[in-house]
Structure 1
Amino acid sequence: MADPRPNPTSDLHWSDYRGAIHQIFAANANKHPERTCVVETASSNSPKRVFTYKHINESSNVLAHHLVASGVQRGEVVMVYAHRGVDLVVAVMGVLKAGATFSVIDPLYPADRQIIYLDVAKPRALVVIEKASQEAGELSATVREYIQENLRLRTEVPGLQLQDDGSVIGGNLDGHDCLEAQQQSRAQLPDVVVGPDSTPTLSFTSGSEGRPKGVKGRHFSLAYYFPWMQERFGLSEKDHFSMLSGIAHDPIQRDIFTPLFLGARLIVPPAEDITFDRLAKWASDNEISVTHLTPAMGQILLGSLEPKVNSLHSAFFVGDILLKRDCRRLQDLAPNVRIKNMYGTTETQRAVSFYEIPSKSEDPSYLDKMGDVIPAGKGMLDVQLLVVDRSNRDRICEVGEIGEIYVRAGGLAEGYLGPELKELTNSKFVQNWFVDNEKWVKEDQEKAAKAGKDEPWREFYKGPRDRLYRSGDLGRYTADGNVECTGRADDQVKIRGFRIELGEIDTHLSQHPLIRENVTLVKRDHEEEQILVSYYVPDLSKWSAWKQGRGEAESNVADDLSIPERLKMFNSLTNDVREHLKKKLASYAVPTLFIPMVRLPLTPNGKVDKRALPFPEKSELLAASSSQPVQDAATRTETEKALAEIWALYLRSYAADSIPSNVPFFDLGGNSIAAVQIPSQIRKKWPDVTVPVSAISKNPTLQQLAGDIDRSLNPVGLRLDAQAPETDDQEEFYSNALPELIKEIPAKIQSASRESAKQQTVFLTGATGFLGSYILRDLLSSGNKVIAHVRAKSTEDALQRVKATCQAYGIWSDSWASNLECVTGDLQEQPLLGMQQDVYDRVAKEADVVIHNGAIVHWLKPFSSLKSANVLSTISAIKLCATGKAKKMAFVSSTSALDSDHYVELSKNLIASGAAGVSESDDMEGSRQGLTTGYGQGKWVSERLMEEAGRRGLVGSIIRAGYVLGDPKTGTTNTDDFLIRMLKGCVQVGSRPDITNTINMVPVDHVARLVIATALNQPVAPMVVCHVTGHPRLTFNQYLAALEAFGYEAPKVDFPTWRDAVEKFVEQGKEEHALLGLYHMVTGDLPGSTKAPELDDRNAAAALKADAARSGQDFSAGSAVTEDIVGQYLSFLIARGFMPKPTKKGIKTLPEAKITQEQIEALDRVGGRGGAA
C-alpha cells in the first residue's frame, strides 16, 4: 500500500510564477471590458449599483498613477480606511498596480487600535474611502494627530469614491479633485514591475502582548493556486461570489481576487442584509454560487433556513474549527453546496489544505461517517501538510501519531514586518531540513537559461526557497492521508479559579454505598455565584438499615416531598456523603449543595434531563436549615450571636439563628472568597481584634471562631461566657511522628545493582502533575518503559488523563503508547497505594526504578491532613522497592523542608565564610522544629524515612526542588504556582512589593532532568540528596520588575503599601484576586516568610555531569529563570487568558506565545501542581 503521507523532498515548483494578480485582472478587463465585475446590491437608502471590468480597471489605474506620481515606491505601504463595497476593490487594485503594499483599517476599530495598526505598518500613503467616513465616521482627531506627528505620508486620497457612471474621484484638495491630473491615464497600467517576492499585502495577526504583527504577503501566492482551484472545484466566470469576509482580515483578499482572476462577478451585500434573518434570502435573491466564510459568518447565514440557496455550489470555510453540526445545517439550506474546509493561516497566505464534503444532493449520508470536527484535509496544489515528530523533527509522524503541523509550499508569506520580529520570522518560517535547497536553486537556473525568455520579474525574485511554516498546531494523518487537527472536550469546569472535574466528583459520589444515582452540575446561586450542586437518589432499602444503625427514627419517603422536606429528611445522609467526598476530593471540589431526589428526570432518549433538575429558592433553603440542630439561643454567647450575623451574610442558605455552632464553615457552603472577607467584617464589628485570614481554617466552626475572638478581646480570660479553646489530642507534632513511622520501614531492603540498563522500567507517581508530565516525557523520549500510577476509575481513563495532561502542556507524543502503561490507584490508600494486589505484585516484579513524585500540594492544610498522601505513601513506595526485584528509588522532595529560621541563619553564615550554601549532606536536624506548613513538615518526615531506608539497603536519591516554574522554551507554566500568581496579583493592584529576598526557582525541564539523572544512573552514595537551585537566582524585586520591563503598570512600592492595596482589592470583591488562596501569607510578613537559604548543589551537578553519557548533553552548570524567560511566561499567560495584556510599551518586547488554541482549551481541563494521582 502506498504511503499516504506527503514526501517532504518533492518538487513544489518554486519558480512557476503565474504573474501578478492585478496584471491578470487588467488582462481580463481588456478581454471583456463590458462584463459585470462588481455589484453593490440595494439597501434601504441606496439603489443597486453595477460596475463593469472596464470601470474597475480604469478607476484603479487612475488611483495607481496618482500614487506613483506622488512618489510612492515599490513595496511601500498604502493604508486604506475601508468600507465593504466597490470602492475597496478599486483601492486594492490601485495600490497593487502602483507596485505598493495595501493594508486595511476597519473604521469600526477603536482609535487606539487604529493607531497600533498605523504604527506597525508605517504607511507612506493613505486612501480614505468616502463611504467609510460617511457611514462609520471620519478618522478621529486622535488618529489624525498620530498621523500628523508620526507618519511621513507622501499623499492622502481623502475621499475615494466610484461614481455611478464608473468614473472615480478622490476628494477635494486645494479646490481640485486630487485624482484630476491622472484621469487622462485611466486606460494605461502604470509601468511598475513586480515579482514573486514583491510585497502586495500587509495583513495583521494577533500578537502575544496586544500589539498585532504585520504579515508581509508575496505576489507569488495571490494567483498561483487559482487555475488549479478553477479546475478542481468547478469555478468559472459564470459564478457569483459573495463579499462577506471582514474587511480588515486577510480572507477579504479571497473574496476580491478569486472572481477577478476568473473574470467572474463579485456581489456585495449592504450591512443591513448581513443579519441572521436576512443573509440567506440575500444569497438566494442574488444567486450566490461561491462564498468564503468563517464559521462565525456561517452562523449568520444559517440564521434562517429559508429560503433555500439552491444556487450555492461552493462554500469555502477558513479561520476556525468547522463542526459537522454546522455543515449539516448549511446542507439543509443549500442542498447543492460542496463544503471545503480550508486549513491555513495569515502566514501561509493562499497556501492551504482542504477537505471537501460532497453536497447533500450528491451524497446525503456522507456526514454520517464524519467525526464532530471536520479534518484539515490535504494540501492544495504544491502545498503539503507535514506532521512532524515533536521529539525528533527529522521524522514525519506515522498514520495516527500526533505531531506538529508544518505547512510546506512556495506560496508562504515573506514573514513578519519589522527587524524586531526577525527572530520570530526565523523561528516560524524555517528552511526545509529534509532537502538541500541548493537543488532547487540549480534547477531554476538551468530552467531559466534554457527558456531564454526576458523575465523582468526575476529582479524581484529571491530564487527558490523551500520553506516550512511552523503552525504550532497538533495533528495526525489518517489512513487516507488527510490531516486531523487534534482536540477533545470533557467535563472539567473552573470555579473560583480551581479546575474541577465533574466526572471525578460523580465517580466518588457513586461509590458511596447509599447512593443509587447521581449527577453534579454547576449552577448559579441567588447571588449569581457559580457553585457545585450534586443531585443524588438514595438507595432507600439500604438507607432504612443505615438509619437504624445510627439510632435514627424511620422515615416515610413520598414522591411528592418538597425540596425543604427532602433536604431535612436526608440531612444526616447528606452530611455522611459530604464526609465521604472530603476524603476523596480537594476541599474546593466538594459540592456546596446536595439535593436528594426521589428519581432523576429523564429526556425522551433516556438521558438525565439536566435542565429539569430543580434549584431551590433561597426561602426553601432557609426553611430546610431552620430544623438543623443548633445550640439553643439562650446558651449562645453574645460573640457567637454577633458572629452568626456575619456568617449569615455569606452562608446564603442559613438564617443567623439556624447556623449550627459546631459545623465547619466550609461544610455549611462557605467558600474561600467568603473566608477571606469575613475577617474584614470581624474587624469592623470588633476594631480591637486582629483576625488573620487563616482564622477560619484554624477555627472552622462558629463556636471555635467566636472563642478565638473572645480571647483576643480579653486575653486574661475575664470574659465569663468565652468558650475555652478545644484541643485535639489526635493532632500530632510532625517530628514526634517520626519514630513510629520508621518502624514501618522494612528492616532490610535488597540493594539494587549499581549497574544501570540503557532502558529501564520506571514506576512513576504524580504523572498527571506539572512536573510529573515532564518527567514522563523525558523518560519515554529516551526509550524507557513507564508504569504511571494514576487516580482514575479505569486504566483507559487513566491513560486518557495522562495523555490529556501532556497534550495540555504541549508535550504528548503518540509514539510513547507502546512504552506507557497506566495503573489505577490513590496515594491516600495504603499500603498498596490503592492498587489491586495482582497489579501491585506485577509492578513489584517488573519495575527497576520507583520515582515517587506524587503529593498533595497545599499550603494551608496541617500535617495530619496531608500525612496519608504525602508521608504514608512514601512508606508504601519504599515497601514496593523492598518487594519483588531490587529497585532504586528517587523521591521528589521540596526545599520547604528547609524553611526554618535555622537554615536561613546557617545559610548567611556559610555564605559569609565563602561556602555555596546549605550542604546536601546536612542532617536536617535544623528543621526538626520550626517548619510552619503541613506540606513542608511532610516532606521533612518523608526525607528522614528515605534516609533510614538508605541505611537499610535502599539505593536512591532525594531531589529537593524549590519553585518549579514553566517551560523556558514555550512558556507553558502552572497558573496555580505562587510566583505566577504573584505576577497577576501585582498587575491587579497596579504595583509590586519591595522584597529583596532571592527566589529559588528553576524551570520545570531542568528539575525533570535532574530527577531522571539521579533515578536512572549509578548514585554517588546509597541515598544521595540533590538540591535543585537556580544559577543565578533572581531576587523578588528582579523577578517582579519583569512586569514593567514588558509594559505592565506595576511600580515598586514598600511592602505595607502593597499589602494595603491587596487587602482593599479583596475587600471590594469586584474580582477574585490571584493570591486569594494564599491571602494569609501575602498579607502577613511576606518579606519575612519568603526568606530562603542559599543551597550548595554539588551532588546535583555531579549527577547531571554523570548523566551526560546517557542524555548526550552536560547540564551540570545548572539552569535559572531569567527576565527573558519571565517574558515567555507572560506571553503564555496572556495567550491563555490568565493575564491581561500590558498597557504600555515596555523596554522589552514580549516574545510570541508558543501555544495553540487547542492547548489553551486543554489547559483548562487539567489538574494543578500537585499531581497526587
Structure 2
Amino acid sequence: MSEIEAVLSQLAGVQQAVVTLQQRQQNDQQLVAYIVLQSEHSLTSEQIRLALKEQLPAYMLPNRIVQLDALPLTPSGKIDRRALPEPGLLPQKSTTDPAEEQPRNELEATLLTIWQQVLGTRQIGIHDNFFELGGHSLLAPQVMLKLRTILQRPLALRILFEAPTIAQLAQAIANDQQQVSGLPASEQQTTLWNEVFLDESISPEYPVQLPTAEPQSILLTGANGFVGIYLLRELLRQTSATIYCLIRASSQDAGRQKLQQAIDTYQLQDCYLDKRVVIVTGDLAQPLLGLAQVQFKELSMHIDTIYHCGAWVNFTYPYHMLRATNVGGTQEILRFACLSRLKRVHFISTLGVLSSPAYSFTQRIREDDPLQHCEGLSNGYAESKWVAEQIIRLAQGRGIPVSVYRAGLISGDSQAGLNATSQLIWAFIKGCIQLGYAPELPARINLAPIDYVSAAIVALARQQQDAGSAFHMQNPHTFSWKSLLKWLRTAGYELKSIPYEQWRSLVLEQMERRTDQALNPFLPLFTKKLSPRQAASLIGERSFDFSRTSAGLRHSPIICPPIDEKVMNVYIKAFRDSGFLPEPVVLPQADRIHTSNHLQRIWQALGKRSGR
C-alpha cells in the first residue's frame, strides 16, 4: 500500500493520498485510493489512472479512485482509515444528463442489473466504464457468465474489455453474432499477421561481428517474475558478469525491493543482490524501454548480451491490452540490441505459440519448424508472444542474433517446492479441489522444474554455436493426469472423477458465483465444448521435439528430474504452507451422499441450458 500511496502523492495536483484494501463481497477484495487534490488543480479518475499505469504494475492499480475534500482525522490528527467512506455509498459525479445514463432498452437494463450485482453498487450509468467502477479481470468472468446464462448464447470474454460500458456492450451484443463470439480463424490470422512489423531503423549499425568472449555486462528484463528471478540466480552462478535488471519502479530503491521480495517469496537464499546487480528503472511498454534517449544509448554501450524474459502474462486480457508490453517491448529490446554494438538476444517465449489447432495432426513439433499458424490461439497472451516471435524472425533476417527458448508448463523448484501459483496447472488442481471433482482426461503432463529450466537456458545461451536457434524447454519424463489425481487423493484430497463436460459445467457455474474460483483467470479456455482429447491438451502437452536442447546439455551436469509422487508431495506441502491449497477435509459419509445428490441436481439443471 505504501508504494502506491507514495506514487499517488508524487503526482502533480495531488495533496494527500491513502490506499486501502477493502472487502467488497464474499471472496472479493478491491484496492481503493482516496485522494485530496490541491485547490488549484482538477484531475479526473481516468487521468490519475493513466499516470499510475506509467509507474505501477497492473496488479497494484487501484480498482476505485475516490476524490474527497479532506481525509477524515482522528482526535490526535492522524488519518482515520476506519472513517473513510465506502465507495459504493458515495454519490457519483456525472457530467452527463441523468436521463442519458438510464437504460434505453431491455438488454441495457439486463446488463445494468448484472453490473449492480457484480460490482455491489446501484449507482451505475450506461456510459460508465466497468473497470473504472472497480471491475477487474476476476469480476469480468462473472459478468459474461451471467450474461451467457440469460442470453443462452456463447460470448467471448474479450468483448467486455473491448466494449467496457453498458451502452457499448449492448451494441456489440446486438451486432452480428460473429463479432460477439470472436473473429473467425481466417480473420484472426490476417489480423495478427498485420501486426508483424519491425521498424526499418532496427538493424545492425555496423557489419555483423559478434563478441566471442564471455559477456561482462548482461541486461535482464522481467527479473522480479517467477522465471526471471531464477534466471538472475543462474546468471550470478554461471557467469561473472554484472547483471543490469530492467524493473518498472518509481526508484532504484523500489526496484531493488521488488527483487528482494521475489527472492524472499521463492526462498532463494543463495541469490544475493550485491554490487553485481544493478537496477535500471524502466518500462517495456514505453518507447526506448522507458529510458531517456541519452540513458538508452549510454546503457547500450555497456551491455554485451540481453536476456528478454519480461512480459505481461495474463490469460484473460485480449491481445490489444498486452501488445505494448509483449510486442512493443520486444521491438525496443531489438532496437537496443543494435545500438552501439551488436548484442546477442535470448528471448524467453512459450510453447503456447504452437497451440493453434492447425498443429493438431502434427505428430511431433520440431524446434526448427517454422512458426506458421496463429489461427485458433486461445488467448491474447499466446497471440502477443506469437507476434513477438514473428518480429524476432524479421530481426534474425537482418542479422540480429536472437535465440528463442519456449517454455511449457513450469513447476516449482524441485528441492524447495515453491511455485508460481498463477500457472494454469496449479490453478487447474486448485479448481478441482474447490469443486471436489476432477475431469476424466487422457492427458500426459509435462512439468519442467524451474531450477532446471533456468539453469538450462543460461547454459544453452552461453554456447555460441547455436545463436539464432529455438529451444523447447521440456521434461523428458511425463506422467498421466490419472497418476496426479492418485497422488492428490493419497495426500488427503477427496476428488471424484467425472466426464469433462460435466466438470466444465460445474466450473462455469462456480465461476459465475465466486471470484475466488482458481480457474477464473483462465475462463477463455473453458467457454467451448471440447472432446476429451481436446480437453486433455489444456494441461497435457502436445508432443514437442527437444533434441537440440538435449544435445546442447549433453556434456553438462544439468539434468531434468522426473516429477513423481515424492516431488509432488514437496509441492503440495509448499502450497499448504503458503495457504494456496487448503488442508484436506474428510467429509462424513452422510455429507458425501448429500454432496453427490447436489451434484446430480446441478448437472440436471445445467443440462437444460443451451450453449454450455
Matches within 5 A, 1:1006-1155: 1006-1020=452-466, 1022-1069=467-514, 1072-1085=516-529, 1087=532, 1088=534, 1091=537, 1092-1105=541-554, 1108=556, 1113-1115=557-559, 1118-1143=560-585
For 1:856 and 1:980, how far apart are their aligned partners in 2? 19
For 2:306 and 2:145, how far apart are their aligned partners in 1? 48
1:800 aligned partner, one-letter code: Q
- State the SS of the aligned residue for 1:654: coil
Checking the alignment, whether the CA contact within 8 Å between 2:439 and 2:503 is kept in structure 1 is yes
Q: Does 1:649 align with 2:114?
A: no
Q: Does 1:505 align with 2:4?
A: yes
1:596 aligned partner, one-letter code: Q
For 1:681 and 1:931, how far apart are their aligned partners in 2? 25
1:1136 aligned partner, one-letter code: S
- State the SS of the aligned residue for 2:506: helix
Checking the alignment, whether the CA contact within 8 Å between 1:901 and 1:930 is kept in structure 2 is yes
User: Displacement, 1:695?
Assistant: 5.3
User: Displacement, 1:996?
Assistant: 1.7
Against the structure 1 CA distance between its residues 1051 and 767, is the aligned structure 2 distance closer, same or farther, given a 3 Å change threshold?
Answer: same
Matches within 5 A, 1:651-666: 651-655=119-123, 659-666=124-131
Q: What residue in structure 1 maps to residue 92 of structure 2?
A: 624
**Deviation sequence 1:996-1048 (CA, Å, 0-9, x none):** 2334431111211122123222132x411111122123344443443123231
**Deviation sequence 1:25-83 (CA, Å, 0-9, x none):** xxxxxxxxxxxxxxxxxxxxxxxxxxxxxxxxxxxxxxxxxxxxxxxxxxxxxxxxxxx
**Deviation sequence 1:1059-1114 (CA, Å, 0-9, x none):** 23323434454x721112223423534653662531111221222236x2xxxx15
- State the SS of the aligned residue for 2:20: strand
Q: What residue in structure 2 maps to residue 598 of structure 1?
A: 69
User: Displacement, 1:575?
Assistant: 3.1
For 2:178 and 2:222, how far apart are their aligned partners in 1? 48
User: Displacement, 1:612?
Assistant: 6.2
Against the structure 1 CA distance between its residues 1019 and 947, is the aligned structure 2 distance closer, same or farther, given a 3 Å change threshold?
Answer: farther
Q: What residue in structure 2 maps to residue 703 of structure 1?
A: 167
User: Displacement, 1:987?
Assistant: 0.9
Checking the alignment, whether the CA contact within 8 Å between 1:742 and 1:945 is kept in structure 2 is no
**Deviation sequence 1:195-228 (CA, Å, 0-9, x none):** xxxxxxxxxxxxxxxxxxxxxxxxxxxxxxxxxx
Q: Does 1:516 align with 2:15?
A: yes
Q: Does 1:823 align with 2:277?
A: no
Against the structure 1 CA distance between its residues 752 and 961, is the aligned structure 2 distance closer, same or farther, given a 3 Å change threshold?
Answer: farther
1:1008 aligned partner, one-letter code: S
Q: What residue in structure 2 maps to residue 307 of structure 1?
A: none
2:424 aligned partner, one-letter code: F
TM-score, scaled relative to structure 1? 0.46
Against the structure 1 CA distance between its residues 1124 and 1084, is the aligned structure 2 distance closer, same or farther, given a 3 Å change threshold?
Answer: farther
Higher relative contact order (CA 8 A, sep 6+): 2
Q: Does 1:806 align with 2:248?
A: no
User: Displacement, 1:827?
Assistant: 1.1
2:112 aligned partner, one-letter code: A
1:733 aligned partner, one-letter code: T
Q: What residue in structure 2 maps to residue 20 of structure 1?
A: none
- State the SS of the aligned residue for 1:531: strand
Q: Does 1:743 align with 2:200?
A: yes
User: Displacement, 1:837?
Assistant: 4.0
Picking from 364, 373, 376, the partner of 1:926 is: 373
User: Displacement, 1:873?
Assistant: 1.2
For 1:590 and 1:996, how far apart are their aligned partners in 2? 40
Q: Does 1:867 align with 2:323?
A: yes
- State the SS of the aligned residue for 1:1031: coil
Against the structure 1 CA distance between its residues 999 and 735, is the aligned structure 2 distance closer, same or farther, given a 3 Å change threshold?
Answer: farther
Matches within 5 A, 1:319-338: none
For 2:586 and 2:82, how far apart are their aligned partners in 1? 49
Q: What residue in structure 2 maps to residue 958 of structure 1?
A: 404
User: Displacement, 1:861?
Assistant: 1.8
User: Displacement, 1:816?
Assistant: 4.8
Against the structure 1 CA distance between its residues 583 and 660, is the aligned structure 2 distance closer, same or farther, given a 3 Å change threshold?
Answer: farther
Against the structure 1 CA distance between its residues 745 and 716, is the aligned structure 2 distance closer, same or farther, given a 3 Å change threshold?
Answer: closer
User: Displacement, 1:587?
Assistant: 5.1
Against the structure 1 CA distance between its residues 685 and 601, is the aligned structure 2 distance closer, same or farther, given a 3 Å change threshold?
Answer: closer
Against the structure 1 CA distance between its residues 808 and 586, is the aligned structure 2 distance closer, same or farther, given a 3 Å change threshold?
Answer: closer
For 2:99 and 2:325, how far apart are their aligned partners in 1? 36
Picking from 19, 25, 37, the partner of 1:538 is: 37
**Deviation sequence 1:84-139 (CA, Å, 0-9, x none):** xxxxxxxxxxxxxxxxxxxxxxxxxxxxxxxxxxxxxxxxxxxxxxxxxxxxxxxx
- Which has the larger share of helix? 2
For 2:271 and 2:447, how far apart are their aligned partners in 1? 31
Against the structure 1 CA distance between its residues 705 and 586, is the aligned structure 2 distance closer, same or farther, given a 3 Å change threshold?
Answer: farther
Q: What residue in structure 2 maps to residue 784 of structure 1?
A: 241
For 1:669 and 1:822, how far apart are their aligned partners in 2? 33
- State the SS of the aligned residue for 2:30: strand
Q: What residue in structure 2 maps to residue 733 of structure 1?
A: 191
C-alpha RMSD of the superposition: 3.4
Picking from 643, 661, 668, the partner of 2:133 is: 668
For 1:816 and 1:669, how far apart are their aligned partners in 2? 37
Against the structure 1 CA distance between its residues 1042 and 953, is the aligned structure 2 distance closer, same or farther, given a 3 Å change threshold?
Answer: same
**Deviation sequence 1:699-738 (CA, Å, 0-9, x none):** 43212333455469xx699xxxx9xx9xxx9x99221121
For 2:101 and 2:282, how far apart are their aligned partners in 1? 47
User: Displacement, 1:973?
Assistant: 0.4
**Deviation sequence 1:443-477 (CA, Å, 0-9, x none):** xxxxxxxxxxxxxxxxxxxxxxxxxxxxxxxxxxx
2:195 aligned partner, one-letter code: A
For 1:505 and 1:859, how far apart are their aligned partners in 2? 25
Q: Which has the larger radius of gyration?
A: 1
For 2:55 and 2:278, how far apart are their aligned partners in 1? 24
2:140 aligned partner, one-letter code: A
- State the SS of the aligned residue for 1:733: helix
**Deviation sequence 1:782-827 (CA, Å, 0-9, x none):** 3332111111122122122212211221114475513211111111
For 1:1039 and 1:1019, how far apart are their aligned partners in 2? 39
Query: Identity percentage over the alignment?
Result: 27
User: Displacement, 1:591?
Assistant: 2.2
Against the structure 1 CA distance between its residues 997 and 585, is the aligned structure 2 distance closer, same or farther, given a 3 Å change threshold?
Answer: farther
User: Displacement, 1:535?
Assistant: 1.3
For 2:346 and 2:102, how far apart are their aligned partners in 1? 59
Against the structure 1 CA distance between its residues 624 and 1114, is the aligned structure 2 distance closer, same or farther, given a 3 Å change threshold?
Answer: closer
- State the SS of the aligned residue for 2:280: strand
Checking the alignment, whether the CA contact within 8 Å between 1:823 and 1:839 is kept in structure 2 is no
Picking from 81, 98, 101, the partner of 1:611 is: 81
For 1:689 and 1:508, how far apart are their aligned partners in 2? 43
For 1:820 and 1:635, how far apart are their aligned partners in 2? 56
Give unpaired runs (5+ residues) of structure 1: 1-501, 544-571, 909-916, 1146-1173
User: Displacement, 1:1134?
Assistant: 0.7
Checking the alignment, whether the CA contact within 8 Å between 1:956 and 1:1015 is kept in structure 2 is no
1:577 aligned partner, one-letter code: I
1:801 aligned partner, one-letter code: K
For 2:347 and 2:580, how far apart are their aligned partners in 1? 32
1:1055 aligned partner, one-letter code: Y
Checking the alignment, whether the CA contact within 8 Å between 1:762 and 1:848 is kept in structure 2 is yes
- State the SS of the aligned residue for 1:647: helix
User: Displacement, 1:624?
Assistant: 2.7
1:746 aligned partner, one-letter code: S
Matches within 5 A, 1:186-205: none
For 1:999 and 1:510, how far apart are their aligned partners in 2? 48
1:648 aligned partner, one-letter code: Q
- State the SS of the aligned residue for 2:333: helix
For 1:1032 and 1:638, how far apart are their aligned partners in 2? 55
Checking the alignment, whether the CA contact within 8 Å between 2:103 and 2:109 is kept in structure 1 is no
